[in-house]
Every structure is written in structure tokens, then in C-alpha cells.
Amino acid sequence: MRVLNVIKNRLKLVFAPNINAAGKQGGFTLIELTVSIAIITIMVGLFLVDYHSTNSKRQLSTTAQTMVSDIRLAQNFSLGYKEHNSVFPYGWGLYFDISTDPDRYVIFADDDGDGLRDADGNEDFKVVNMLEGLDIDSIKVFDSSWGTYTGANKQVVFISPDPEVYITDNSDYTKMRIILLDNRTGDEKKLEINFFGLVEIID
């Protein structure tokens, strides 16, 4: 605010009426106009930089919140025995493939009860495309001894009726951490899902 007040005062001085030697009001000099344009250009530039930065952070936060909502949607579908492909699935989940599609993920139904998403896409319910410039940078899963597993293809499945949580087709893993990245600014958001099915944004 102090900087803006200084700029306002400078602009007032620049745009103040130019009184000539005869005491008559004159026009602006070329130097005054040049300084005015330079100040306005700087102000607009500062505003645009701040706007783009704020907008990027908002988009990243919105994407993280959307993913959390989709994870909870899969949980609710599992608890509510939502029908899919004319059958009642064994569970519902989210599938990620960051090697080929880092900017999207799939909500799917485990129709055949194998705890996995079918590669042919028959079990897919919805493909969620993230906002432009945002990717899933990495996904890690942790076991009970805090060992980690990293790979391109990961999923979390909620098996009815509890729902029991399967992280990467294995109930032995206790937590999944997803890192979202804004490629334009380098900003990150981290999400975690634990074996109780609790999901939160931690950063």
C-alpha cells in the first residue's frame, strides 16, 4: 500500500497543471508524458504478475480439492453399492498412470472383484482431466514399516461394504501420497490417503 501511495503522489505531481512564466496554465511536456507512461506501464506489469501468480495458486488448490472430492465420491459409491454396467461392483476407486497420462486420472468400478482397473476401460466410470499446466508429478505408497513403492501405475480402491481400502492392489500398504505440480510456477500440493480411507491436503 505504501508503494501505491508513493506512485499516486508521483502521478499527481506529473499531472499537475504546468504554469508558465506568464502565470498561464500550459500543456504537458514530453518528459512528463514519457514519465507518466513509464509509471503506468510498471504498475500494469506489477498487477499482471501478481494476478497470474494468484490465479495459478487458485487453480492448483482447486485441482487438489477436486481430486479429494473424487476420492470421497468413490468411497460413497462403494458404501452405497452404486450400480455400474448393470451390476453392483465389488468396490470403486481411482486409477493413476503418470507415465502416459500425468494430467488425468480415472474413476472406475471394480466390476469383476479383482481389485484392479481393467486395461480395456470397461470398468471406467469417468476420466477426469486436470486444468492445463497441472500434472501429477509423483505418487508414493508406504507400507507399515514405512518402506516406499514408486511406480507409474497406481490406484486406490474402496471395497464394499466397509469399505476396505486397497492401495495399489494391496491391503498391506498403509498410505498413498500424491504430489500435484504446476509446471508454470513450480508450486506443489500434496494429498494423502491412508488405510482408514481418510484423505487430506497436507501442503
CATH of the domain at 124: 3.55.40.10
pLDDT tens digit string along 21-38?
445 555 567 777 787 787
In a domain, residue 57? The reply is yes
In a domain, residue 135? The reply is yes
In a domain, residue 188? The reply is yes
In a domain, residue 6? The reply is no
Residue 102 belongs to domain spanning: 50-201
In a domain, residue 129? The reply is yes
In a domain, residue 54? The reply is yes
The total number of residues shown for the chain amounts to 203
Q: How many domains does the chain have?
A: 1
- Contact assessment for residue 59 and residue 131, using Cβ atoms and an 8 Å cutoff: yes
Q: In this predicted structure, what is the pLDDT of residue 33?
A: 73
Q: In this predicted structure, what is the pLDDT of residue 14?
A: 47
How many CB atoms neighbour CB 124 within 10 A? 15
In a domain, residue 179? The reply is yes
Q: In this predicted structure, what is the pLDDT of residue 157?
A: 94
Q: Which of 109, 71, 64, 115 has its CA nearest to residue 89?
A: 109
Q: Which of 172, 180, 169, 176 has its CA nearest to residue 62?
A: 180
Q: Which ranges of the chain have pLDDT less than 50?
A: 3-4, 6-7, 11, 14-15, 19-22
SS (H, E, C) 43-104: HHHHHHHHHHHHHHHHHHHHHHHHHHHHHHHHHHHHHCCCCECCECCCEEEEEEECCCCCCE
Taking the C-alpha atoms of 10, 11, 16 and 21 in order, what is their torsion angle to the nearest 10 degrees? 60
- Contact assessment for residue 176 and residue 193, using Cβ atoms and an 8 Å cutoff: yes
In a domain, residue 36? The reply is no
Stated pTM of the model: 0.72
Question: Is 128 exposed, middle or buried, given 0-12, 13-18 or 19+ CB atoms closer than 10 A?
Answer: middle
